[in-house]
Copies of this chain bind each other. A is one copy, B any other.
Amino acid sequence: MRWVRFSQGGRTAYGIVEGERVVEAAGDPFGGYERTGRSHDLRGVKIEVPVVPPTFYCVGLNYAAHIREAAAKVGLPPDLPRTPDVGYRASSALIAHGEPVAIPADATKVQYEGELAVVIGKRAKGLSEAEALGCVLGYSIGNDVSERAWQKSDRTLWRAKNTDTFKPMGPWIETDVVLDRLETRVRVNGVETTRFPTNDMLFGVATYISAITRYITLVPGDIIWMGTDGTSPDLKVGDTVDVEIAGIGVLSNPFVAASSRT
């Protein structure tokens, strides 16, 4: 099942994507829902961020090639994580499929990171790895847009990762996913620049959920972005980045110049 959050006629609702149509739901996939008699043309609705998470988890380093390439660029040996230490991103930076990423005037090195986004469906604490996937509602796609100069200069990732609009997510949540069959492909202006097996992670989804819930309660709507592989070219105003995960969909966002005030 494919859940989309959308707006039409001033109303925001969840719907189920069926072909080119969206069947509007009363309720939501977290607390319960019913299909309504209303359906819409998918191309005629505004697609929204699939969920605004209570807590937004994000794995920083989870693919060996990404870590080795980043280390080689600064002339250091790769330092592979030995434990699943999750990090955080800010919900304030989320934007939907199709919405523009606004590059601040003083940003000099903006790059994409195409990521699998796990959406939690059930309250969970103390799950074993065998139990872990039982709390997952489904999967979406995230682009963990990053300003590398700020990432290097600042003590934290606050503006490098969480500047307004730097977290595109969508277009929807797919509940029927076989993780090992997923492949991530990123295109800049239609030209493929990155491709990797999505599930080729140092620590997988079940491992992370089990590790997190040893100490922290996950709740419906929480999201976990699983990190990225490979590297990105530097992006510029006018570019469009598509992150495709076969079996889930395509998250596409144009990059524009930020105005000084929002």
Contacts and interface: CB of A to CB of B under 8 A. Distances in A.
Tally of this chain's copies:
2
Interface residues of A, number: 36
Given A85-B155, A125-B164, A159-B215, 18 more contacts: A54-B91, A55-B91, A60-B156, A61-B155, A81-B155, A83-B154, A85-B154, A86-B158, A88-B156, A92-B219, A92-B222, A104-B214, A104-B215, A125-B261, A126-B262, A158-B212, A159-B214, A164-B215
A216 interface: yes
Interface string A234-262: 00000000000000000000000000111
Interface in A146-188: 154-156, 158-159, 162-164
A45 interface: no
A72 to B, nearest CB: 19
B156 A86 contact: yes
